[in-house]
């Protein structure tokens, strides 16, 4: 278009000359690959949101809930539109894990993004989620979905050919290159495009959404753990679940893990042995007495003298009232022990075994009444 023609159009329409990238619904668009710096609106939005939450004295569970419901929601909006560079994905992951473990955006913390079945927190793997959206686009292109964009792709790129026979072109957009790269990966993994079509057809027909099934296939996987149903019992309090999860992984900040701080390392309950995970759960004589009273009250006959043996001893399957209440009792007692340990160290006040046992009973019956309004549902206990 000549400069005169362009000037005539501008005068007739009162339009202004724009430039790429331009924003639409808060997201930058460009015919070229976006630079990492052009994703700064997303990063700034995440950081400013976290800044508003700082100083609110959030617990780990509170931070985890905000991370999964708010921060990941912001990220998923961008993931569904175009592929994010690895640098941006790493930066987002860094912001999220620092917020979870320290409550701010600075630091260098680690986070478990594995599913709960594999011993993690069930956080979304951002890269795998991004690829699952590309897989959805590839499937719609294969089906020739009745949409303007998909019709344009078939007309401009495929020329009414099959997407499985198309290759890279130098003039292709970054999004189209990413879709074709994913196609080639799946073909190589499955052994042919007909096998890929069959795989995607299964994703489409399964109970969950297409992207959920694709994400489950594409995400990194680890070995399953046997204690998932014990730790993440739905009836239990979230804070109890989280502390039990940390205890099973050996990640609670016991004194043996804080040797660099040169603390007094003896157990605050018995003052006989250095504090460690194995000692607190349940080798300490003071805690062993409490745990024995709780087991007797719950009519559990197994020894279960350690946290691992308690996980093995409690029945993982079943949804009966008695089974579920016994499962959640482990997380509750671990949480109360850890809370009492912190209160003794920082509050300089101690509680007797009987008082802590009574606190366990009150919380136990509160949870029970919340899920089963029958006050005699557990009348087998004294």
- Please state the rounded mean pLDDT for residues 110-127: 83
Share of the chain above pLDDT 70, in %: 94
Based on the fold, state whether residues 232 and 286 are members of the same structural domain.
yes
Whether 17 is covered by a domain: the verdict is no
Q: What is the pLDDT of residue 107?
A: 66
Based on the fold, state whether residues 234 and 356 are members of the same structural domain.
yes
Based on the fold, state whether residues 211 and 256 are members of the same structural domain.
no
Phi/psi at 169 (5° precision): -130, 150
Based on the fold, state whether residues 237 and 318 are members of the same structural domain.
yes
How many distinct structural domains can be found in the chain?
3
* pLDDT higher than threshold 90 for residue 170: no
Based on the fold, state whether residues 72 and 98 are members of the same structural domain.
yes
**Three-state SS for 23?**
strand
Based on the fold, state whether residues 233 and 348 are members of the same structural domain.
yes
Of 79, 111, 143, which closes a domain? Answer: 111
Whether 204 is covered by a domain: the verdict is yes
Q: 262, exposed or middle or buried, with CB in 10 Å at 0-12, 13-18, 19+?
A: exposed
- Please state the rounded mean pLDDT for residues 256-260: 82
Nearest to 311 by CA among 272, 266, 281, 355: 281
Tell me which of 185 and 348 has the higher pLDDT. Answer: 185
* pLDDT higher than threshold 90 for residue 181: yes
Based on the fold, state whether residues 234 and 362 are members of the same structural domain.
yes
* pLDDT higher than threshold 90 for residue 329: yes
Among 6-20, 98-112, 162-176, 264-278, the range of highest mean pLDDT: 264-278
Whether 278 is covered by a domain: the verdict is yes
Q: Residue 104 region, left (φ>0) first, then alpha (ψ -120 to 50), else beta?
A: beta
Based on the fold, state whether residues 58 and 150 are members of the same structural domain.
no
**Three-state SS for 24?**
strand
Tell me which of 317 and 133 has the higher pLDDT. Answer: 133
Of 111, 140, 163, which closes a domain? Answer: 111
Q: What is the pLDDT of residue 381?
A: 46
- Please state the rounded mean pLDDT for residues 204-222: 91
Q: What is the pLDDT of residue 373?
A: 54
Based on the fold, state whether residues 194 and 289 are members of the same structural domain.
no
Domain that holds residue 247: 228-371
Based on the fold, state whether residues 364 and 249 are members of the same structural domain.
yes
Based on the fold, state whether residues 98 and 212 are members of the same structural domain.
no
Residue 263: half-sphere exposure toward Cβ, Cα within 13 Å: 17
Based on the fold, state whether residues 77 and 184 are members of the same structural domain.
no
pTM for the structure as a whole:
0.84
């Amino acid at each position: 278009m000549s400069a005169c023609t362009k000037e005539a159009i501008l005068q007739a329409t009162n339009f202004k000359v724009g430039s790429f990238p331009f924003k639409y619904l808060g997201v930058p668009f460009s015919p070229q690959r976006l630079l990492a710096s052009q994703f700064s609106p997303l990063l700034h939005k995440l950081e400013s949101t976290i800044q508003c939450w700082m100083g609110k004295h959030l617990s780990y569970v509170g931070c985890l809930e905000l991370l999964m419901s708010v921060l990941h929601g912001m990220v998923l909006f961008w993931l569904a539109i175009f592929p994010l560079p690895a640098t941006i994905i790493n930066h987002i992951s860094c912001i999220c894990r620092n917020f979870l473990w320290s409550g701010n955006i600075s630091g260098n913390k680690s986070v478990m993004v594995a599913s709960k079945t594999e011993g993690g927190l069930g956080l979304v793997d951002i890269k795998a989620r991004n690829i699952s959206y590309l897989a959805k686009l590839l499937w719609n292109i294969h089906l020739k979905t009745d949409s303007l964009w998909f019709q344009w792709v078939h007309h401009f790129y495929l020329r009414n050919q099959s997407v499985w026979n198309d290759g890279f072109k130098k003039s292709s957009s970054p999004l189209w290159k990413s879709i074709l790269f994913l196609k080639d990966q799946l073909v190589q993994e499955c052994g042919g495009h007909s096998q890929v079509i069959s795989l995607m057809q299964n994703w489409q027909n399964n109970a969950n959404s297409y992207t959920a099934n694709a994400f489950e296939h594409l995400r990194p996987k680890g070995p399953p753990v046997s204690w998932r149903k014990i730790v993440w019992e739905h009836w239990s309090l979230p804070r109890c679940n989280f502390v039990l999860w940390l205890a099973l992984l050996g990640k609670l900040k016991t004194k043996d893990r804080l040797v660099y701080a040169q603390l007094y390392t003896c157990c605050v309950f018995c003052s006989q042995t250095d504090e460690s995970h194995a000692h607190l759960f349940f080798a300490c004589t003071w805690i062993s007495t409490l745990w024995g009273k709780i087991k007797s009250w719950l009519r559990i006959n197994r020894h279960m003298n350690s946290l691992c043996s308690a996980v093995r001893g409690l029945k993982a399957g079943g949804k009966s009232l008695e089974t579920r209440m016994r499962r959640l009792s482990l997380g509750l007692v671990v949480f109360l022990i850890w809370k009492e340990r912190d209160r003794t160290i920082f509050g300089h006040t101690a509680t007797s075994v009987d008082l802590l046992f009574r606190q366990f009973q009150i919380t136990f019956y509160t949870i029970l009444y919340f899920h089963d309004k029958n006050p005699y549902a557990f009348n087998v206990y004294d």
